[in-house]
Each structure stands twice: as structure tokens, then as C-alpha cells.
Structure 1
Amino acid sequence: MRIVAGRWRGKKLAELGAGDAGAHLRPTTDRVRESLFNLLMNGRHADPVTGARVLDLFAGTGALGLEALSRGAAHVTFVDDGGAARALLRENIGLCAAQGTTKVFRRDATTLGENRGKPFDLVFLDPPYSQGLGDLAVRSALAGGWIAPGAMIVWEENAPPLPPAGLSQIDQRSYGGTTLTLLRAEGTA
């Protein structure tokens, strides 16, 4: 696993190794991540990455958020409640020397609670597949004020999700067993 583009292009990230079977770590492949960022940066949408405040829910290894930082995001907050995931995440933040532009929250993404800071412009959502956790996390983030008006949400699942109220679908692509859905939060940024 490596950073695909930007200032850390080619940077090798920590190996998963045997990992923690209970952690459900399933990093987004380099190929899917490259396709996703090409869609975001070169698509019909305004560039949602450069200068963005990014929220990476079910962050796992942090590859999505770190890719966004490499490509010009201003800050990433990573959320994951798994010990194995947070250890890999901290290692990857260190490898990229990104401590000053990141925060790591040990929190269940499905029960975020109230956001006490500025809302986020770009949200990555990569829950364990087929468990309904993505829907719970999006609803929690919306209810807690984590998502800015007009924000882009990138939801990775194994099947197309149904966007909850307050979000509209703007694109959807499938890559093998992975479906990427791009959503936009209601309101203007």
C-alpha cells in the first residue's frame, strides 16, 4: 500500500501483516484510491480536496485521509475505534510526518456525538461491508454537525447504499466488489 499522488507520491505505508481478524481491516486498494481521487480532482465537480478539512470515518490505516493530505487537503481527522487500526494509522501518520495536520479520535463512527469544532468539507466513509454501519455513521455525522453544508461524502461499500435525507447522490462507480458513491450535503458551502 502506497500514496498514489501528490507531495508523498510513492510513499510506502505500513504493512497490515497478519493484522487483527476482529478489526475488519480492508484498506482501499491503490487502484481504487487512484480512481477515486481522479474522479474527485478531475470530475465535473469543483475540486473538493485542495484546502479541505477532511473527516475519515472507519479510518483503518488512514490511506484515504493521507492521500487527501498528500494532494493538498488542509487537515484530516481520523475516526476509528479499533486498536489495530489506530496503531497502523499512527504509524502511517508518522511515516508521512503528518502529525501537525491530523487528529485521531478513538470513537465509534456510528455514535459520533456533537462536533465541537468546525464541520468538515470532505468525508470519507469506508465501513465494514454489509453491516449497515455506513448509514448509521452518516446519520450520526449529520445529526452531530460534523458535515458542512455542501460537503462531499465519499462512501465505499460492496453494494450501492441508499443516501439518507439531507444528502443527494452525484456519482457512483463500481470497481470489482467495491462501489464508490459520491454524495453532496444539502446547503451551500
Structure 2
Amino acid sequence: MGRHNRPRGRAKPATFEEGELRIIAGEWRGRRLNFPALQGLRPTPDRVRETLFNWLQAYVPGARCLDLFAGSGALGLEALSRGALSATFVDNSPAVTRQLRDNLQRLNARNAEVVEAAAMDWLLQRQTDLEARYDLVFLDPPFRCDLLPLACELLESRNLLADQALIYIEAESELGLPRLPESWKELRSKTAGQVSYRLFIREGESLPQ
């Protein structure tokens, strides 16, 4: 039968190739989860995540987390596995948010929220002083879209950061340090290939050496 002569019926939903990520440590250590392998979706590599969560190990338990450009959700999922109180995942892709909800259900995670929205739209809709304030924020936006400065500004102006909140920024190394709120102090930074990753704290308190 030719391709133009298929029987009519309900269209099949779009399918995507899948990638796989691994939870490194905590309650779900070693669990492998799928994510849609969409163009531009690049989970934080295992070795970078391991370094980041070594930096954060004393701060994750009990933290309220925001994974703003969630993608695979690797950072927020790792935080939940290591004892974070809650996590909010924000992404504008229906395929991504659907898979995140499926993964959270598989893990029986009841302390997470998945929001299907563009990160900037979501931030702009937050009502200053009336929203949850986050202890730990992960910012890993699509490369070469110049989203970081405005995202950082809105996190501050909408008062979405707790006192002494920690903010992780992952970006292309060629970008350099973006314009950031004056109250953010850089604590750690490393470069791995074409990616730079940095940890900041709000209001200038430093982590122990």
C-alpha cells in the first residue's frame, strides 16, 4: 500500500528520539531516566553535576529549588534525590514537560511541580512579594539566546530569592560573566570545554572552604 493510501483515523502523536540521564547520588542514586532528545537540549554532564553538588552538599537538604530552564530536569531531579524540600521545573516544551511529569511519577516524587511556560513569561507573571522564595536556583538557558541577564534581573525584582539564596549559572564559556544583580557574589567557577559554570550567593555570604 502506498503512503498516500493509508486508512484514515486519528493522527498518531509526534514521537521523539530519547536521551538518558543518570541520578548520581541520594535516594534515587543510579536511577536512569529518559528525556526527549530535542535540538538544543543538553543535560548538564555527570562530571559537572558531581562538581556542582559537591559545592552544594551542605545546602541542598531542605532547600526549595527552582530549575528555570529545566530541559531534562537533571539538576532539579538531582537536588530532590539529595533531600531538597521541593522543586519547581519550568520549560516551554510540551514534550519536555510531559517527560518530566512521567519521570517524577516513576520516582514517586510528591514534592515537585512542573510548569509548561517560557521562562521569561513565567518570571514576568510572578507577583512581587506574593510568591514562593527559592533557596537554590538553577539557570541553564539555551545557548546564544541572551536570556541570562533578564532572568537574573527578574528573579531579584520579583523577590523570588530567599536571603542567602544560591544561584547556579551554566552558560557558553565565550559569553563571559553576564550582567548580574549587585547583591550576587561569585563563590565558585569552572570551565569544562565550551561550558562555564558558576555558583553565586545572594547578599555576599561565602561558603566554607
Alpha-carbon distance change, 187 to 158 in structure 1, aligned in 2, over 3 angstroms? closer
Percent identity over the alignment? 42
Q: Please, which runs of 5 or more residues in structure 2 have no aligned partner? A: 1-20
Residue correspondence of structure 1 range 16-27 to structure 2 within 5 A: 16=36, 19-21=37-39, 24-27=40-43
Question: What is the aligned partner in structure 1 of residue 145 from structure 2?
Answer: 131
Partner residue, 1:143: 157
Which residue of 2 is the match for residue 114 of structure 1?
126
2:5 aligned partner: none
TM-score for the superposition, normalised by structure 1: 0.87
Question: How many residues in Structure 1 have an aligned counterpart in Structure 2?
Answer: 178
CA deviation profile, 1:54-102 (whole Å, cap 9, x unmatched): 011101111100100111100001111112221221122122211x100
Partner of 2:96: 85
Asked if the contact 1:119/1:147 (under 8 Å) is kept, the reply is yes
CA deviation string 1:118-155 (max 9, x = no partner): 20000001101122112221111211121112100000
| Pairing of 1:176-187 with structure 2 (within 5 A) | 176-186=193-203
Query: Which structure 1 residue ranges, 4+ long, deviate > 3 Å from structure 2?
Result: none
1:186, distance to aligned residue in structure 2 (A): 2.1
CA distance, structure 1, for counterparts of residue 188 and residue 38 of structure 2: 33
CA distance in 1 between counterparts of 2:97 and 2:177 reads: 26
CA distance in 2, matches of 1:156, 1:34: 14
> CA contact under 8 A between 2:67 and 2:139: conserved in structure 1?
yes
Report the secondary structure of 2:33's partner residue.
coil
Alpha-carbon distance between aligned partners in 2 of 1:37 and 1:187, rounded to the nearest angstrom? 20
Q: 1:84 to 1:105 in 2, by over 3 A?
A: same
Maintained 8 Å contact 1:158/1:179:
yes
